Amino acid sequence: MTIVTNLGFPRIGPRRELKHALERHWKGEDSADTLQATARELRLRHWHLQREAGADLLPSNDFSLYDQVLDTAFLFDAIPQRYRALAESDPLGAYFAMARGRQTDGVDLRALEMTKWFDTNYHYLVPELQAGQRFALRGDKPVAEFLEAKAAGFNTRPVLLGPVSFLHLSKTVDGSDRFALLDGLLPAYAALLSHLHAAGAEWVQIDEPILTLDLTTQVQDALREAYARLAQATRPKLMLSTYFGALGDNLVLAAELPVDGLHVDLVRAPEQLDAVLQALPAGRVLSAGLVNGRNVWRTNLDNALTLARYAQGQLGADRLWLAPSCSLLHVPVDLDQEKTLDEEVKPWLSFARQKLGELRLLANALDGAPDADAGLAEQRAHLESRRQSPRVHRPEVAQRVARLTPQDSRRQSPYPQRRRVQEAAFDLPVYPTTTIGSFPQTQDVRQARARHKSGKLSDAEYDAFLAAETERCVRFQEQIGLDVLVHGEYERNDMVEYFGEQLDGFVFTKLGWVQSYGSRCVKPPIIFGDVVRPAPMTVRWSQYAQSLTPRPMKGMLTGPVTVLQWSFVRDDQARSATCRQIALALRDEVTDLEAAGIGIIQIDEPAIREGLPLRRGEWATYLDWAVEAFRICASGVGDATQIHTHMCYSEFNDIIDAVAAMDADVISIETSRSRMELLDAFVRFAYPNEIGPGVYDIHSPRIPSTAEMVDLLRKARAVLRDAQLWVNPDCGLKTRGWEETRHALEQMVEAARILRADLARAA
Ligand code: GLN
Ligand code: ZN
């Protein structure tokens, strides 16, 4: 019987139970015990659900209260000094302080940095390490969760982040070499493995996703050393798991490591199967990732079956296990919960629970089960209906894309010329202040939206509500003295969903939540067909907001790459083709805004970096089409229209040429958490246009002081021209409360004034 395994299950809960429990706990409404009880209940439900869906071997320790990388740091006692006192008295409090920062009782703790988990929209917390770092087992989360499952009748495979990937994902705060810490880390891993063995775990899934990256020989050697040492521990069998791409030049290395099984991603990289089969040593289990853990489309099981049969022919039945390509963390929980999803599109989809069902069907087909053929035939029929649908293919879109010329992705004049025209048009002070777009989405705002959606609030009432909120926001910004205003984005639920809802070619789920970080979830739109903009999407609110004030009002759009990146994208054409369609729809919006008198337009592209392929060899192609898409969208306007873009949580070193090639007049970036480190790339590159390095970390409830922001700005000033510098927060304010927003922005405006005074004094 072919075994179906799973690499990880969404932990947020089918109705975001974990999110709500976390937020109640953070607000002080629920005790730690209540939170832990909810967490336990979710784990149990998820194990039941996975087994019922057809998985034989289930994961444990894939659950996390916030993030699995943070869990790993905590587990091995990689707790930076500033949290240590708290960790002794209140471990859970320290854990959340590392995740979110903490300002209580006169103690002010900065959070760890956060960054994207490979090329996903999941964010992990970056462990802070230093030379001489000691590691030791702290607590027993993986063992406890294994035993918890066992007590409930589930024999699970604990999931661990492997030691070399852990170090790779960490940073050292003193610039020392993080891989030098491997030696000290391995005994802690070995101890954990032996505890798991003693607890009765037969297998451990040890994730080394970095094996699908370009690795230096140092890292390759670290992998060799790590697994040679772990092989000697008293331990369960190890399933070395790789995902998000091909092993490529690391295949021989991965196959040589002394483990008991290898998981490979055959969705992103089906072409590697043959080479993997050849490299796999005798006796080793192959876990074949055949169902996409990163997307929501129903699997082409005929193709998957061909690969599985081929592998089985080479390996024999007991050495081939079936699995999703990666953890199912990245897809929603259950399609069956969707009661109002577009009837035509719904049968084309598959969420976490359904994906396990697909794997079950695949296993049954492989084992020659009598009812498998009927299941495969049904699957085939759904795929066929998708292929044939006239809602997927619209000739007018294909024609417009075909008519694009290079002219369509060039502004009228180069930046220096535009700058002159814009200076005259806007009359801004030096170090202009602005925000990134959204203002607090309070309970009131969310409630009004919900009531409108459910019909309790009429269109007119909702409009009046939004108008009042927008006006209040404009007055607030005038009052605290910001230079370039925004309308506040009250009408938007989410920066992609808002646009997707107004474009053809998208559908939306009700409960298709996917964890982004901690308690934050996103509900990615599903792009199923050609993209068309039937009508303007943002003009009305921007125009209204501008009518309230003489100060420039910035129009606010989500860029084509971000729309693509944060959606589930159709898999029946190249991503670049879908992106270009979105860019054309947005280009029309930009020119409509300009025509409506909006002189400054921000096209947010916070996701451009995360779209970067994991392998360097594929970067240039991606960046070419991504930059082109942005430019298509930005280039329909005249020189006087100032185009801004915004990017956050991005590491810019690798893409700085492309960022410059986007040729936005102004870019705002995330920098405050990393103390302006991110600015390095811009400085080294001599970034030519204007730039607003974020001075206020809006991802944490912590309010920075004026002095702190002045300090950051002086750091920026030391390396950028005065005329280049803007003053703004790291990102939008929608998750913040009004009180903290007021304080932080007042202090930010004050910081800009102090800087202007510096300048006046110098002159
Ligand atoms: N304009 C958006 C906002 O302010 C940008 C959000 C983002 O960068 N993620 O919310
Ligand atoms: Zn942002």
| CA distance linking residue 286 with residue 315, whole number of Å | 8
For residue 694, the model assigns a pLDDT of 93
User: Which runs of E-coded beta strand occur in 25-91?
Assistant: 58-60
| CA distance linking residue 693 with residue 670, whole number of Å | 6
Q: Which sign does the torsion angle of CA 646, 648, 653, 658 carry?
A: negative
Query: Is the separation of the CB atoms in 22 and 67 below 8 Å?
Result: no
Residue from 123, 434, 436, 553 to probe ligand 1 pocket by mutation (most atoms less than 8 Å from CB): 436
> Under CATH, what is the fold of the domain 3-388?
TIM Barrel (3.20.20)
Pocket of ligand 1 contains residue 646 by CB under 6 Å: yes
For residue 610, the model assigns a pLDDT of 83
Taking only the tens place, the pLDDT of each residue in 394-444 is 999 999 999 999 999 999 999 999 999 999 999 999 999 999 999 999 999
Average pLDDT over residues 606-624: 94
- DSSP letters spanning 708-719: HHHHHHHHHHTT
Q: Is 688 exposed, middle or buried (0-12, 13-18, 19+ CB in 10 A)?
A: middle
Q: Which helix (H) or strand (E) holds 544?
A: helix 539-547
| CA distance linking residue 283 with residue 319, whole number of Å | 7
For residue 317, the model assigns a pLDDT of 84
Query: Is the separation of the CB atoms in 260 and 241 below 8 Å?
Result: no
Whole-number average pLDDT of the chain? 96
For ligand 1, atom 9, which residue shows the shortest CA distance?
606
Q: Which sign does the torsion angle of CA 54, 60, 66, 68 carry?
A: negative
Best-predicted range by mean pLDDT among 66-75, 97-106, 689-698?
A: 66-75
For residue 650, the model assigns a pLDDT of 59
Pocket of ligand 1 contains residue 606 by CB under 6 Å: yes
* Residue 535: Cβ within 10 Å count: 10
Question: From ligand 1's centre to the CA of 78, what distance in Å?
Answer: 32
Joined together, the tokens standing for residue 353 give 């629970």
| CA distance linking residue 650 with residue 593, whole number of Å | 28
For residue 143, pLDDT beyond 80: yes
- Residue extents of the structural domains in the chain: 3-388, 417-441+479-762
Pocket of ligand 1 contains residue 495 by CB under 6 Å: yes
Q: Is 27 exposed, middle or buried (0-12, 13-18, 19+ CB in 10 A)?
A: exposed
Query: Is the separation of the CB atoms in 169 and 127 below 8 Å?
Result: yes
Q: Place 116 in a pLDDT band, splitting at 50, 70 and 90.
A: confident
Domain pair 3-388 / 417-441+479-762, same fold: yes
Counting ligands in written order, the one closest to the CA of 438 is: 1
User: CA dihedral defined by 378, 379, 385, 387, rounded to 10 degrees?
Assistant: -150
| CA distance linking residue 600 with residue 552, whole number of Å | 7
Q: Which helix (H) or strand (E) holds 733?
A: none
| CA distance linking residue 483 with residue 477, whole number of Å | 8
Residue 640 sits at φ, ψ, to 5 deg, of: -75, -15
| CA distance linking residue 433 with residue 422, whole number of Å | 16
Q: Place 649 in a pLDDT band, splitting at 50, 70 and 90.
A: low
Q: Tell me the HSE value of 360 on the side-chain side, using a 13 A CA sphere.
A: 16
Question: From ligand 2's centre to the CA of 711, what distance in Å?
Answer: 22
Q: Does domain 417-441+479-762 have CATH number 3.40.309.10?
A: no
Question: From ligand 1's centre to the CA of 422, what distance in Å?
Answer: 24
The strand pair at 568-569 and 261-265 is best described as: unpaired
